[in-house]
Structure 1
Amino acid sequence: MAAPVEKKVTAATLAAYLASTGLLAVLTAIQDNAGLVSGLPDALEPFALALIPTAVTFVGGWAARHTPRGPATR
């Protein structure tokens, strides 16, 4: 029998999806208005903006609880 998908994996996947759709649209608008990242060198701006969805995904996976498992069998 296949093990259930961990809640942490599901939460991180959902966070990645939401970050890549709605949040990236906002980040694109911010990138067009460079006032928020104007202090960074041009080459670093895309990498700094990419950290935001990464952080959302990390927090989604970190905050979710583990899926309870029964006793291990050998």
Structure 2
Amino acid sequence: MAAPVEKKVTVASVAAYLGSTGLLAVLTAVQDNAGLVTGLPDALEPFVLALVPTAITFVGGWAARHTPRGPAGV
């Protein structure tokens, strides 16, 4: 029997999706206003922007509870 997907994995996956789509929506809305990342070198911008969904995923996975497991070997 396949083990269930841990809630932490599900929460982190949903957080990554929402964080990514939310970030893309914000970037689309401010596309004509580069003030969001003006102070960064062009080569660094994508890496800094990628930290937003990464941080949301980390916090979502960290905050979610573990899925209870049975005894080892069962």
TM-score between both structures, scaled by the size of structure 1: 0.84
For residues 65 and 10 of structure 1, the distance between their equivalents in structure 2, rounded to whole angstroms, comes to 11
Task: Return the TM-score normalized by structure 2.
Answer: 0.84
The Cα RMSD (Å) is: 1.7
TM-fit CA distance, 1:33: 1.6
Q: Distance in 1 between matches of 2:33 and 2:66?
A: 40
Give the structure 2 partner of residue 50 of structure 1: 50
Q: How does 1:1-74 map to 2 (within 5 A)?
A: 1-30=1-30, 32-73=32-73
Unaligned stretches of 5+ in structure 1?
A: none
Give structure 2 stretches of 5+ with no counterpart: none
Relative to structure 2, which stretch is displaced further, 30-39 or 7-16?
A: 30-39
Percent sequence identity over aligned pairs:
85
Deviation of residue 31 (structure 1)? Answer: 5.0
- Larger displacement relative to structure 2 (29-38 or 46-55): 29-38
How many residue pairs match? The answer is: 74
Distance 1:60 1:19 in 2: 10
Any conservation in 2 of the 1:7–1:64 contact (CA below 8 Å)?
Answer: yes
Runs of 4+ deviating beyond 6 Å: none
